[in-house]
Amino acid sequence: MGAMGSPRRTTGLLLAALLLSASAVVPAHAATAFKVLQMNLCNSGIAGCYQNGLAVGEAVTMIQNRQPDVVSVNEVCLSDLPALTAAVGTSARYQFAFVRNRSTGSDYQCTAGRGAYGSGIIVKEGIATSGTGVYAAQDGGTEMRAWACALSAVRGFTACTTHLSTTGTTALAQCRELVPATVLSYDPTASPSTRHVVVGDLNLKYSPGSTTNAQNCVPSGWFRKGDGDVQHVVARTLAFVSTQTYTMRRTDHPAFVVNYTF
């Protein structure tokens, strides 16, 4: 009887072990999608690509269709930001990068009394802290280029926007001012795992071998994705998925989307 009973006990033990093992398996964490949208709206009223403010409505539609987590907009007026931010979501907030006028010492202004000119960074989940400033490196023009950064309110990532100089060497110097030191100054954890995205019209192209190659402002541990021209996203601690560009008819730049997960 004992010999006949042993196999039954072994089977029971194996079954118990298998059940215990199965109960200990933790389902894999589903990747969280994270989408960044970059647009240059040419809305100052000064440049030839200006189309009487119609780029803002087009951008609102683009935001509604793409549903991004972060939006960067360049060449906009401060008065454009409420409508753009509302399109991102009810919890969304923005930080504006005020461009300075070297001649007057005051904020650069859009035409027709539409307010200060510059760039905006919009974060869907809201903003805990933020800031803006002008670069130490500037070209000889009257427009002093600026940046804006924001620490998100919920997931603790940093998002920055900028529109760099049209002089390549100056643009590269400005980019290196922003990435990584200024960006990392908005990370209270100082953790190497914190997510960061720097988004904007860098006025630099990916051009291997060139001294003004956009890749030359990408620090170790970061990576860059571009639209094939001058719009880029430089990021850290995100998993790249894909990019898309979308034609915009009311400005001279396409909308540029980068999809990530984390």
Please name each of the domains of the chain with its CATH number: 30-261 (3.60.10.10)
pLDDT at 2 over 50: no
The model's pLDDT over 126-156, given as tens digits with 9 standing for 90+, comes to 999 999 999 999 999 999 999 999 999 999 9
Instruction: Identify the pLDDT of residue 65.
Output: 98
The model's pLDDT over 194-219, given as tens digits with 9 standing for 90+, comes to 999 999 999 999 999 999 999 999 99
Q: Where are the beta strands (DSSP E) in the chain?
A: 33-40, 70-77, 93-98, 100-101, 117-123, 127-134, 143-144, 146-152, 158-163, 196-201, 223-226, 231-236, 239-246, 255-261
Q: Classify burial at 14, counting beta carbons within 10 Å of its beta carbon; exposed 0-12, middle 13-18, buried 19 or more.
A: exposed
Q: Please state the separation of Cα 198 from the chain's center in Å.
A: 5
**pTM metric for this prediction:** 0.89
Q: What is the mean pLDDT of residues 93-99?
A: 98
Residues in the chain: 262
The angle that helices 81-88 and 54-66 make with each other, rounded to 10 degrees, is 10
Report the C-alpha gap between 104 and 181 in whole angstroms.
Answer: 29
Instruction: Identify the pLDDT of residue 189.
Output: 84
Q: Is 38 helix (H, G, I), strand (E, B) or coil?
A: strand
